[in-house]
Amino acid sequence: MTPRRPLALLFDLDDTLWPIAPVIAAAEQSWHAWLAQHAPRVAQAFSVAELRVRRAALLARRPELVADLYQLRREALAEIFAETGEDPAHIEGSMQHFAVQRNLVAPYADVLPVLPLLQGMLRLGVITNGNADLEVIGMDHHFEYKLSSSVFGRAKPDPGIFLAACAAMGVAPEDAVYVGDDLRLDVQGAQGAGLRAVWMNRHGGSAHLDAGVTPDAICATFDELLAWIRGQMPQSGA
């Protein structure tokens, strides 16, 4: 049976287009140094790890904040500023500093050579739970549409965010493919909304078997993704 030709290819960002853990680690160190300079009581009272614990505690109390991790960071910081008696006027400056550092990402080596090739075959979009700014990063020209959970109000794996992106792009879910690294958020989420889902598994292993998830394809690189997408296209001249 000839596979249905996809019309749109949508991407997760963090750990799909670039590694995020080292970026966040560096951003939080720089952020803490900024706080030490501008809000020293906060930095003296809370280490990077302790600030992380406070955010986790706030998220446990207010799980809806998972849709906007910047707002989670801001509200947790506001609590700590109040506790330590720091001037809340510095909260926004600290958030701006963190945002700059958070966008200092470096795409995986295979991403930038392949994106234009995919762009020539399909309409490209983004669905993300994160706060990366593609314009700041310099990659927004590859994607005609982006939807973040902070704008939508609910986060992956909620099927609504996938359906909203498809509707905005004017494509049926069955005509869209989603690519992401997280089996639950990306693969199960997209498939639950009726999209096909490619698991970007750069690290090998068979976690999908343990998780009971069956991706429509598993790719270790964007070159493999490109080959799979080409395989979904009808052969011309046949």
CATH code assigned at 168: 3.40.50.1000
Residue 1 lies in a domain: no
* Pair (118, 191) in one structural domain: yes
* Other C-beta atoms lying within 10 Å of the C-beta of residue 196: 22
- Mean pLDDT, range 78-95, rounded to an integer: 97
* Other C-beta atoms lying within 10 Å of the C-beta of residue 110: 16
* Pair (25, 97) in one structural domain: yes
Residue 2 lies in a domain: no
In angstroms, the CA 194 to CA 41 distance is 50
State CA 190 to chain mean position distance: 14
* Pair (151, 181) in one structural domain: yes
* Pair (110, 92) in one structural domain: no
* Pair (80, 128) in one structural domain: no
Residue 85 lies in a domain: yes
What DSSP element (H or E) covers 9? Answer: strand 8-11
* Pair (180, 88) in one structural domain: no
Domain that holds residue 64: 21-102
Each residue's pLDDT tens digit, 165-192: 999 999 999 999 999 999 999 999 999 9
User: Please, which residues have CB within 8 angstroms of residue 130's CB and are 6 or more apart in sequence?
Assistant: 13, 14, 20, 69, 148
**What is the CATH number for 69?**
1.20.120.1600
- The tokens for 157 are 């794996």
- The tokens for 75 are 């509200």
- Please answer whether residues 195 and 188 qualify as being in contact, where contact means their C-beta atoms are separated by less than 8 angstroms: no
- Please answer whether residues 53 and 171 qualify as being in contact, where contact means their C-beta atoms are separated by less than 8 angstroms: no
User: Please, which residues have CB within 8 angstroms of residue 59's CB and are 6 or more apart in sequence?
Assistant: 65, 66, 72
* Pair (138, 85) in one structural domain: no
Residue 79 lies in a domain: yes
Residue type at 196? R
Looking up tokens 């706030």 gives 58
Partners of residue 178 on adjacent β-strands: 10, 197
- Burial code (b: 16+ CB inside 10 Å, e: under 16) for 136-153 equals ebebeebbebbbbbbebe
The total domain count for the chain is 2
Residue 237 lies in a domain: no
* Pair (63, 124) in one structural domain: no
Boundary-marking domain end, from 68, 102, 136:
102
Looking up tokens 């009272």 gives 45
Residue 238 lies in a domain: no
The chain-wide mean pLDDT, for the chain, equals 95
Indicate whether 228 pLDDT > 70: yes
* Pair (158, 227) in one structural domain: yes
In angstroms, the CA 12 to CA 2 distance is 27
Q: What band does 109 get if pLDDT is binned at 50, 70 and 90?
A: very high
Residue 91 lies in a domain: yes
Strand residue runs (E) in the chain: 8-11, 123-128, 145-148, 176-180, 196-200, 217-219
Boundary-marking domain end, from 102, 128, 150:
102
Q: What band does 237 get if pLDDT is binned at 50, 70 and 90?
A: very low
Residue 152 lies in a domain: yes
* Pair (96, 114) in one structural domain: no
Boundary-marking domain end, from 71, 102, 133:
102
- Please answer whether residues 180 and 216 qualify as being in contact, where contact means their C-beta atoms are separated by less than 8 angstroms: no
* Pair (55, 74) in one structural domain: yes
Q: What band does 89 get if pLDDT is binned at 50, 70 and 90?
A: very high
* Pair (15, 25) in one structural domain: no
User: Please, which residues have CB within 8 angstroms of residue 68's CB and are 6 or more apart in sequence?
Assistant: 131, 149, 150
Each residue's pLDDT tens digit, 63-73: 999 999 999 99
